[in-house]
Structure 1
């Protein structure tokens, strides 16, 4: 048998390697979604209104006025 005429098949990842890659991608995607949800929740919180003197306004209702 002449070695120069023998062709090798390209190496293909095994089923376990493919599955491990898929699991890793799913975990990464879930982590990104969790981070995005945390950012959205943080942005949704009402920010206090601050006047030009740096005082927080609009929190206390003056009932005696």
Structure 2
């Protein structure tokens, strides 16, 4: 059986301003012992996605007077 893969993608609403990558679960450091259900796996993937997005987006909240 082949290893499961996940596709991460992010876009900012501008043409061609998108990024996409495919990872195996092991590339993300996720093993079958880390989750029991698909829901638990999805929560882990959601967190991994947040970390991945932060690698590509620079943002800030700046208060202006």
**TM-score over 0.5 for the pair:** no
More helix by share: 1
More strand by share: 2
For normalisation by structure 1, the TM-score amounts to: 0.31
For normalisation by structure 2, the TM-score amounts to: 0.31
Which is bigger in relative contact order (C-alpha 8 A, separation at least 6)? 2
